[in-house]
A and B are shown apart, each in its own frame.
Chain A
């Protein structure tokens, strides 16, 4: 592998590949695109959380003959969205299982009229009893999914926790809860679909995973693969929110297009997007932990419950990642994790940056501070004495082959934040101030790439070709939605091929053109696909040396001349490379044991928080993050990922509350679902340590999800440090602080009088 010092392009902050188009307003997002004769589609949705559809009436004030209306009966294939389990109908038939579930689709050439028509459909229901919470679902008095409401469960066991409790010096218990979180990509979900008898279905859309959508369309339309084509348009943010949902909206638009004979655009407005699309899974995590008198972890017994919503979507894999991240970056001889994903009559929860890990890392890292307090130990020392190291094994008995440098990361942020001095200073100042400040930490890992055997099943294929016009094209279905796929993958190809960054372009993310390099999720793109592009490029260089006289050392011009020679011989110049699992990787799906991830990113966060005891607001004043995520291919983009993830994590912790009423999001507007603004995000200081990962593209591991894992526990630990009160649930809003602190104050008051 190349070392960073030798690289010309990898490791430098070249301009974002599609940056100029974005900055000129010339990048074409789906709503910027018109097709000849295009109609507009809209969705008639369930008003109730659970029930049978008794009747559907169409108001006579509408001239229905002008419209195309699609129901479940119009679906030519299976009425199912193809996810892990095909339990989610494309359109509800007889029964609805959550508010906002799609029942009918309507299209018309005038987008304003289509809205009127939606409001002119009147549906009556025979109500069924709904389930809204994890607790109601696990009681199973009302069964709404399968035999027992449980989408998936895991049992992870190492050693024997039950042998430990009796003799442990300390046992600390805690319960931690996280709420739903909305992705709030600024571009809503949207697609355009077209159907012709000759070409089949074509969908253009804002999406992360073209081949996921492709697969779902095959099932809904019962078409062969070559008759469905999915093309990603410029995508205005995703964060996991465009991993699974585009399969739904694409199927809907394509059904309308097929029936009305026109291209159909479906772009949600914000209100519909917030109410009807997926969010982060809410969770409840319980910890029971045994430690010895020196603070060494002896046993961790963890129970995880997530709310999956009405259909299973990705709940099983989210739960898997939640489970595997729940013990934190520590070594413990006895671990038991029991986890369940439960069905409720709410909009299905789905993928969101971190994919279950932010929930369980919140719990374990909040719990570590509770253990420290319970046994009278410094929270940093408690973590340090339990950190996992190279050569030790995780809860799944995965051997840490690579060096783990959590101590070094810790040293860095402690020094940069002036942690100990600040804590001392705040202790003094807090005594006489209504504003109480504190410092909180969180240490964690995030597994890069698919869990367990996932990458092997994906079997990704990626590559490059060289066009007659003298451009190298990167051929992947991996998509750009702000995180830097285009830039990073073209950097890798340019580096290996000895050409300029400007010589390399991305082929369109079009299932008719590019191979299936898998979904753009799980922080896998730079590591897994970057590596495939590196290997495909090396393969092309070898081919050119063997067949087209490319010398050992070559210039850019020589490279392109050789490509022309190879083209004369073969008609085309290209190189594809298929994923091969790193050697020695073993994962047992049945026993849930082995190498859970090919690599881990590591990070330590520190938050400085001020709690105003008059207004009950908590504000993050400054934030420090150190991480090791392999080699950094593009420092500016990578740092942007960390900063953006931390900002989302701050929102998750202190601002963003999904208010559910009758299983429906009640605050489905930007006016009342609050995310951090330019005035709310504190200065964020980002520090990198680089250790090359042998099997990642130019030594890279995953970066994108890592920063979302730490802010919640770091901030709530800082609040505890500031005011001495523990909060174990997020989001933590001023009213939550008020409720708890007011009660505490009332208890204190009589003594003071």
Chain B
């Protein structure tokens, strides 16, 4: 007997998607396997490293801990949705400029966490930044370049707003 499959509707990076999968399948696997959005990475599979961070209805979640049934009807944002018409998001530009990505495996999750942080705290102080990124492990950078990238993105966004 085959296991019961559920029809799950998601809005991923603004696009409506429907998948028929086991309801307990992890959101991470649905993104990577069923929707071919392999930008979101698995580092630990237990919600410790944050490599699989995506935004679900505006909340930052570890997609390895979300059964896809729980995401039914949700809006999901992943790293693939960050750039717009081929133009890098200010955070992506800042990470490129400041050396915020080294091996790149934590980067998609880190970018989503940074986006989440800046949406709630457009000008984070160091404590807010450290707290905001504490759920995302990076083994390469020692975080200094990441902090600088996020601050640089925050500053460039402020400039943008000011120019308007």
* B105-A236 in contact (CB<8A): yes
Contacts of B78 in A (CB 8 A): 25
Chain A interface helix/strand/loop/mixed: loop
| Nearest Cβ on chain A to B97's Cβ, whole angstroms | 7
Which residues from 10 to 49 on chain A have a C-beta closer than 8 Å to any C-beta of chain B?
13, 15-16, 18-29, 31-32
> Which of B4-12, B34-42, B68-76, B154-162 is found at the contact surface with chain A?
B34-42
Also in contact, A482 and B44, with CB within 8 A (given A23-B88, A25-B80) = no
Q: A15, A25, A483, A670 — which one has the most chain B CB atoms within 10 A of its CB?
A: A25
Give B64-93 as 1s and 0s: 1 = Cβ < 8 Å from A's Cβ atoms: 000000000000001110110000100010
Stretch of A121-129, A672-680, A688-696 with 4 or more beta carbons under 8 angstroms from chain B: A672-680
Cβ–Cβ contact B40 & A270, under 8 A? no
If the complex has contacts A23-B95, A678-B134, are A669 and B38 also in contact, measured as CB distance less than 8 A?
no
| A669 and B140 within 8 A (CB) | no
Q: Answer whether A25 and B105 are a contact pair too, CB < 8 Å, given A13-B99, A186-B51, A237-B140.
A: no
Query: Once bound together, how far apart are the Cα atoms of A18 and B107, in whole Å?
Result: 13
| A613 CA / B136 CA spacing, docked (Å) | 30
A184 adjacent to chain B (CB < 8 Å): yes
- A200 at interface, CB cutoff 8 A: no
* A683 surroundings in chain B (CB, below 8 A): 144
Given contacts A237-B103, A669-B46, A679-B134, contact A648 B145 (CB under 8 A): no
Tell me which residues across on chain A come within 8 A of B106, comparing CB atoms: 186, 236
> Which single member of A481, A483, A643, A678 contacts B130 (CB below 8 Å)?
A678
Do A25 and B46 have beta carbons less than 8 Å apart? no
CA distance A670 to B111 in the complex (A): 21
B137 at the A/B interface (Cβ < 8 Å)? yes
- Cα separation A580 to B125 with both chains bound (whole Å): 51
Q: Shortest CB–CB separation between residue A480 and chain B, in angstroms?
A: 8
Q: Which of A32, A234, A678 contacts B146 (CB 8 A)?
A: A678
Given known pairs A669-B46, A671-B48, the reply for A24 and B80 (CB within 8 Å) is yes
Q: A residues 242-269 with Cβ under 8 Å of B?
A: 269
**Residue among B92, B103, B136, B138 with the highest chain A CB neighbour number at 10 A:** B103
Which residues of chain B have C-beta atoms less than 8 A from A187's C-beta?
41, 43, 103, 105
Contact A636 to B101, CB < 8 A, known contacts A31-B42, A679-B131: no
How many interface residues does A have (CB within 8 Å)? 56
B101:A22 contact, CB within 8 angstroms: yes
Distance to closest chain A CB from B147 (angstroms): 8
Residue in A closest to B33 when the chains form the complex, CB atoms: A34
A176 at the interface (CB under 8 A from B): no
Q: For residue B40, which residues in chain A have a CB less than 8 angstroms away from its CB?
A: 25
Residue of A nearest to B135 (CB): A677
Q: Report the bound CA distance from A678 to B109 in whole Å.
A: 14
Q: Mark A581-604, 1 if CB is under 8 A from B, else 0.
A: 000000000000000000000000
Whether the Cβ atoms of B82 and A24 lie closer than 8 Å is: yes
Which B residues from 127 to 151 make CB contacts under 8 A with A? 129-134, 136-147
Question: Do residues B105 and A16 form an inter-chain contact, with CB atoms below 8 A?
Answer: no
A670 to B133, CA, bound (A): 16
Q: Residue B45 at the A interface, CB < 8 A?
A: yes
Q: How far, in Å, is A120 (CB) from chain B's closest CB?
A: 19
Q: Which residues of A contact B58 (CB under 8 A)?
A: none
Taking CB atoms, residues of chain B closer than 8 Å to A515 are none
Binary flags per residue of A340-357, CB closer than 8 Å to B gives 1, else 0: 000000000000000000
Residue contact A679 to B141, C-beta cutoff 8 Å:
no
Q: A677 and B38: CB pair below 8 A?
A: no
Chain B residues near A483: list those with CB within 8 A: 102
Query: Are B49 and A186 closer than 8 Å at their CB atoms?
Result: yes
Cα(A709)–Cα(B81), bound, Å: 40
Distance of A534 Cα from B143 Cα, bound (Å):
32
Q: How far is the CA of A711 from the CA of B33 in the complex (A)?
A: 42
In this complex, the member of A236, A239, A637 whose beta carbon has the largest number of chain B beta carbons within 10 angstroms is A236
Q: Do A681 and B39 touch across chains, with their CB atoms under 8 A apart?
A: no
* Most chain A Cβ neighbours within 10 Å, of B49, B96, B132, B142: B142
The digit string for B21-61, where 1 denotes a CB below 8 A from any CB of A, is: 00000000000100001111111111011010000000000
Residues of A within 8 A of B140 (CB): 237, 482, 640, 644
Given contacts A185-B139, A636-B145, contact A26 B39 (CB under 8 A): yes
B98 in the interface, Cβ–Cβ < 8 Å?
Answer: yes
- In the bound complex, how far is the Cα of B45 from the Cα of A238, in angstroms? 19
- A322 CB–B CB distance under 8 Å: no
Partner of A23, one of B44, B92, B132, B141: B92
Task: Establish whether residues A24 and B41, one from each chain, have CB atoms under 8 Å apart when the complex forms.
Answer: no
Which residue among B40, B51, B130, B139 has the maximum number of chain A CB atoms within 10 Å of its CB?
B139
User: How far does the alpha carbon of A484 sit from the alpha carbon of B99 in the complex, in Å?
Assistant: 10
Q: Decide: A670 and B101 in contact? CB cutoff 8 A.
A: no
> Does the CB pair A644–B96 fall under 8 Å?
no
Contact check, B48 vs A25: say whether CB atoms are below 8 A apart: no
Q: Which of A29, A481, A648, A675 contacts B137 (CB 8 A)?
A: A675
Q: Give chain B residues whose Cβ lies under 8 Å from the Cβ of A679.
A: 130-131, 134
Output the least CB separation between A624 and chain B (Å). Answer: 13
The closest CB in chain A to the CB of B101 belongs to: A22
The listed residue (B37, B38, B97, B104) touching A236 by CB distance below 8 A is B104
Contacts of A24 in B (CB 8 A): 39, 79-80, 82-83, 88, 92
Tell me which of B32, B44, B101 contacts A19 (CB under 8 A): B101
Establish whether residues B96 and A239, one from each chain, have CB atoms under 8 Å apart when the complex forms.
Answer: no
Bound complex: CA A81 to CA B99 (Å)? 37
Is the beta-carbon distance between A15 and B96 smaller than 8 angstroms? Answer: yes
**A19 & B96 in contact (Cβ 8 Å cutoff):** yes
- List A contacts of B104 (CB < 8 A): 18-19, 21-23, 27, 234, 236, 482
Tell me if A647 is interfacial: C-beta within 8 Å of chain B. Answer: yes
Question: In this assembly, does A235 line the interface, its C-beta being within 8 Å of a C-beta of chain B?
Answer: yes
Q: For residue B43, which residue of chain A has the nearest CB? A: A186
What's the nearest-Cβ distance from chain B to residue A439, in Å? 20
> A453 interface residue, CB < 8 Å from B?
no
Residue A684 interfacial (CB < 8 Å) = yes
When distances are taken between beta carbons in the complex, the residues of chain B under 8 Å from A669 are 44, 46, 48
Residues A471-488 near B (CB distance < 8 A): 481-484
A25 to B40, CA, bound (A): 7
Task: Check if A643 sits within 8 Å of B80, measured CB to CB.
Answer: no
Closest chain B CB from A589 CB (angstroms): 35
Q: State the Cβ distance, A16 to closest chain B Cβ, in Å.
A: 7
Given contacts A23-B107, A24-B82, A236-B103, contact A186 B45 (CB under 8 A): no
Interface residues of A in 401-439 (CB under 8 A from B): none
Residue of B nearest to A707 (CB): B142
Judge if A201 is at the interface, Cβ distance under 8 Å: no
Instruction: Give chain B nearest CB distance to A443 CB in angstroms.
Output: 21
- Give Cα A575–Cα B51 distance, bound, in whole angstroms: 41
- Chain B residues positioned under 8 Å from A484 (CB to CB): 102
Contact B103 A482, beta carbon cutoff 8 Å: yes
* Residue from the list A16, A183, A481, A684 in contact with B96, Cβ < 8 A: A16
> Which residues of chain A come closer than 8 Å to B134, judged between CB atoms?
677-679
- Asked if A186 meets B139 with Cβ closer than 8 Å, knowing A669-B48, A678-B146, the reply is yes
Tell yes or no: A550 within 8 A of B by CB: no
Task: Report how far A184 CA is from B103 CA in the complex, Å.
Answer: 13
Q: Can you list 15 A-B contacts with CB-CB less than 8 angstroms, sorted by A residue number?
A: A16-B99, A25-B80, A31-B42, A184-B137, A237-B139, A237-B140, A270-B43, A482-B140, A639-B99, A643-B144, A670-B43, A671-B46, A671-B48, A678-B129, A678-B133
Measuring CB to CB, which residues of chain B are less than 8 angstroms from any residue of chain A? 32, 37-46, 48-49, 51, 78-80, 82-83, 88, 92, 95-99, 101-108, 111, 129-134, 136-147
Q: Which residues of A are in contact with B by a Cβ distance under 8 Å?
A: 13, 15-16, 18-29, 31-32, 183-188, 234-239, 269-270, 481-484, 636-637, 639-640, 643-648, 669-671, 675-679, 681, 683-684
11 more A-B contacts (CB under 8 A) besides A15-B96, A647-B143, A678-B136?
A: A183-B139, A235-B103, A236-B103, A270-B45, A640-B99, A640-B102, A643-B143, A648-B139, A677-B134, A678-B147, A681-B144
CB-CB nearest 4 A-B residue pairs: A25-B39, A236-B105, A482-B103, A22-B104
